[in-house]
């Protein structure tokens, strides 16, 4: 019987090159590392020959059968990691003469030499045939790699597809012949989206659904049980190609539960805090985009594959933090994709073995599958349809910037949950960034502001004003001060309160910050200012953090450089304490971590109470966890550095509760409470 948290080990073996020895090594490794499934790579990376022929596939079919025979003795299943569909990049290769596949063409009219148009009928028949042959072996899962996309196919500019067939479709929907230049200009036209934008996104969406159906139906025709899994990339990039997440994974699944290998950041080791930024902005957003019943196995990858790239300790940290996704397990890619095989000397197998009990225990408990509680961070899967581009020069301008608060809030101790249905919210704290407020009509936004406490970045406030809805937030106008042009260098507390033990505390906003929004409030608005901006000559230049009419917080920063940009100057204790002060006044309904930078909380409702999963992304240990907003009653604590849960030892000081004990750096702590929650 498989463990509750499954290890799927991605195994590269070059047929005919030390394959016997490597299969024997795998036999020992599966037991040593407690592997549940082996995903056998086919035609992978350094060994990739292009779009392999069915004759070439025979060697991999034989390899898979041999691995299946060996793993059966351990009760370990086998899956197939076909490495290419459309193809990641040309990498100096060409289509074979007999491969009559239509190449992908980029926005500048350049055709690929190997990467194909996913709408090509001949390629769809070919790729469906490959997957059908794999499915005949009855593996547990056949994986579709993340080259199953329109973007990122080097050396193409951005990606495709603007081939002749696609241009015919675009022209047909536009009702007139279009040149590629004319169409791309319309897609990216600044301001209100041009009708060509919808044509691009609709056709791109239908293109990938067509290819997904070809693969999914081919597998299902051969086997009723083989699952089809998708490796996905960053959601903000997929938005620019119109991805319909639910439709796509269900088309591949072809009647079974969808399966997704969520991208985890950190192919190379970074600081754990930086890793969690990417995890919250990319991995957690992907989880929110997927159907609820999706089986999730995030991708832990160590590239370029050695302890020089990633330590055992950091790899364990990725395993522990992955629990916030409520996954069914994880896919593990640790060793070279050139046929070198398993490197026992790196010792990853010992770490995998020792970490498994905690992963199993928390997964089996089911507490991390409950409804997520926290600040509701708004997103919309269809934001690329509504975004107003500024320059109109690049496909990257179609990337939504909606996950900012998902990184900022947990770093400052505040749990969050992604939400795409603002009409369902009432009595919540909600956060909006980028242009997300373009996605709902006036009635939905009126409800949002009437029934909830809303936090807005400068960008979100500006969108509200552009739509003539500034009155919902008590604001009339937003203009901007550009960073590092002298208009402001710091914020200073102006409400008379003491933060970080200082009167009139200051927080810097120069060099590594963002543009600052200067908000003009309605004459009748009740504005409670927390800070103001000042220049180098100590002159006040604009209001800063403020709460309007007791219902809206203006977070006065924006114009971020990219969807995953997090200006480091925004992270400091003054701004953390201001945020916590605002949340207490707003009757925020979830536990918040005080102090302790990067002790990041994920909050879940359970059948009989509340769970708070804490991941320490700092490189300091945390001695005692202080919370406000924690439930009354006794708590159970289960630290990943310990063998089993135990009653938490607590100290109470007014509204603050401190859980005694240590949360080591890069470790995790689960706290659970029974009974009514606040």
Q: Are 383 and 234 members of one domain? A: no
Task: Tell me, yes or no, whether 267 lies in a domain.
Answer: yes
Residues 22 and 37: their CA atoms lie apart, in Å, by: 16
Q: Are 266 and 347 members of one domain? A: yes
Measured in Å, how far apart are the chain's first and last C-alpha atoms? 39
Residue 323: closest CA among 75, 613, 66, 93: 613
Residues 23 and 38: their CA atoms lie apart, in Å, by: 11
Q: Are 597 and 576 members of one domain? A: no
Q: Give the end of a domain, one of 585, 605, 630.
A: 585
Task: Tell me, yes or no, whether 185 lies in a domain.
Answer: no
CATH number, position 666: 2.60.40.1180
Q: Are 386 and 306 members of one domain? A: no
Q: Are 129 and 150 members of one domain? A: yes
Residues 149 and 143: their CA atoms lie apart, in Å, by: 14
Tokens of 330: 């994880």
Predicted local confidence at residue 2, as pLDDT: 82
C-alpha dihedral sign at 405, 411, 412, 413: positive
Task: Tell me, yes or no, whether 440 lies in a domain.
Answer: yes
Q: Are 145 and 31 members of one domain? A: yes
Q: Are 279 and 354 members of one domain? A: yes
Number of domains in the chain: 3
Predicted local confidence at residue 236, as pLDDT: 97
pTM flag (> 0.75): yes
Q: Are 344 and 421 members of one domain? A: no
Task: Tell me, yes or no, whether 205 lies in a domain.
Answer: no
- Which DSSP state fits 280? I
Task: Tell me, yes or no, whether 193 lies in a domain.
Answer: no
Q: Are 489 and 597 members of one domain? A: no
Predicted local confidence at residue 133, as pLDDT: 98
CATH number, position 31: 3.20.20.80
Task: Tell me, yes or no, whether 162 lies in a domain.
Answer: no
Predicted local confidence at residue 676, as pLDDT: 59
Those residues whose C-beta lies under 8 Å from the C-beta of residue 148, and which sit 6 or more positions away, are: 85, 86, 118, 208, 211, 212, 230, 231
CATH number, position 499: 3.40.50.880
Which residues span the domain enclosing 627? 592-674
Residues of the chain scoring pLDDT < 50: none
Task: Tell me, yes or no, whether 165 lies in a domain.
Answer: no
Query: Which residue reads 């989206």 in tokens?
Result: 193
Looking at the DSSP bridge assignments, the partners of residue 553 are 455, 547
Q: Are 122 and 249 members of one domain? A: yes
Alpha helices in 327-425 (DSSP H): 348-365, 404-411
Task: Tell me, yes or no, whether 569 lies in a domain.
Answer: yes
The residue count of the chain comes to 678
């Amino acid at each position: 019987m498989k463990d509750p948290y499954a290890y799927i080990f991605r195994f590269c073996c070059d047929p005919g090159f030390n394959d016997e020895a490597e299969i024997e090594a795998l036999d020992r490794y599966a037991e040593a590392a407690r592997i549940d499934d082996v995903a056998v790579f086919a035609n992978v990376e350094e060994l990739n020959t292009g779009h392999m022929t069915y004759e070439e596939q025979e060697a991999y079919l034989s390899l898979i059968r041999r691995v299946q025979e060996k793993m059966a003795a351990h009760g370990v299943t086998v899956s197939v990691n076909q490495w290419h569909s459309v193809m990641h990049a040309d990498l100096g290769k060409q289509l074979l003469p007999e491969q009559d596949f239509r190449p992908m063409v980029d926005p500048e009219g350049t055709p690929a030499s190997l990467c194909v148009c996913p709408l090509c009928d001949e390629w769809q028949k070919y790729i469906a045939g490959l997957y059908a042959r794999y499915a005949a072996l009855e593996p547990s899962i056949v994986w579709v790699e993340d080259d199953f996309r329109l973007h990122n196919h080097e050396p193409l500019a951005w990606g495709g597809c603007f081939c002749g067939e696609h241009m015919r479709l675009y022209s047909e929907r536009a009702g007139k012949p279009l040149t590629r230049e004319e169409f791309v200009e319309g897609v990216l036209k600044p301001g209100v989206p041009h009708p060509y934008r919808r044509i691009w996104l609709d056709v791109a969406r239908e293109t990938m659904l067509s290819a997904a159906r070809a693969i999914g139906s081919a597998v299902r025709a051969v086997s009723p049980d083989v699952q089809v899994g998708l490796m996905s990339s960053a959601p903000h990039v997929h938005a620019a190609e119109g991805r319909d997440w639910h439709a796509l994974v269900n088309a591949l699944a072809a009647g079974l539960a969808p399966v997704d290998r969520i991208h985890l950041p950190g192919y190379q080791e970074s600081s754990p805090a930086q890793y969690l930024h990417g995890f919250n902005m990319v991995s957690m957003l992907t989880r929110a985009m997927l159907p609820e019943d999706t089986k999730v196995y995030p991708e832990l990858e160590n590239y370029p594959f050695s302890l020089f790239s990633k330590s055992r300790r950091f790899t364990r940290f990725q395993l522990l933090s992955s629990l916030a996704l409520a996954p069914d397990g994880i896919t593990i890619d640790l060793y070279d994709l050139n046929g070198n095989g398993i490197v026992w000397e790196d010792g990853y197998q010992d770490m995998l073995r020792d970490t498994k009990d905690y992963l199993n225990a928390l997964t089996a408990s089911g507490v991390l599958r409950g409804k997520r509680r926290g600040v509701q961070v708004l997103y919309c899967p269809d934001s690329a349809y509504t975004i107003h581009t500024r320059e109109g020069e690049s496909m990257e301008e179609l990337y939504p910037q909606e996950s900012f608060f998902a990184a900022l809030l947990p770093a400052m101790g505040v749990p969050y949950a992604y939400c795409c249905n603002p009409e369902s919210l009432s009595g919540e704290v909600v956060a909006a960034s980028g242009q997300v407020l373009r996605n709902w009509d006036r009635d939905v936004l009126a409800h949002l502001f009437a029934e909830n406490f809303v936090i807005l970045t400068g960008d979100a406030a500006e969108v509200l004003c552009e739509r003539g809805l500034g009155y919902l937030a008590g604001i009339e106008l937003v203009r901007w001060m550009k960073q590092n042009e002298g208009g402001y260098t710091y914020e200073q507390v102006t409400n008379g309160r003491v933060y970080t033990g200082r009167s009139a505390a200051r927080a810097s906003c120069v060099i590594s910050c963002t543009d600052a929004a200067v908000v003009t409030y309605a004459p009748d608005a009740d504005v409670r200012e927390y800070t103001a901006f000042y220049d180098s000559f100590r002159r006040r230049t604009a209001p800063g953090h403020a709460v309007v009419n007791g219902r809206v917080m203006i977070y006065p920063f924006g114009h971020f450089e990219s969807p995953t940009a997090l200006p480091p100057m925004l992270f400091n204790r003054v701004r953390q304490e201001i945020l916590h002060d605002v949340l207490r006044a707003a009757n925020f309904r979830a536990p918040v971590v005080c102090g302790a930078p990067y002790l990041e909380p994920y909050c879940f409702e359970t059948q009989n109470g509340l769970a708070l999963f804490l991941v320490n992304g700092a490189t300091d240990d945390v001695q005692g966890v202080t919370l406000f907003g924690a439930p009354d009653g006794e708590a159970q604590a289960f630290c990943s550095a310990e063998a089993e849960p135990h009653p938490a030892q607590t100290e109470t000081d007014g509204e603050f509760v401190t859980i005694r004990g240590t949360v080591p750096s890069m470790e995790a702590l689960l706290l659970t409470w029974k009974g009514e929650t606040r």
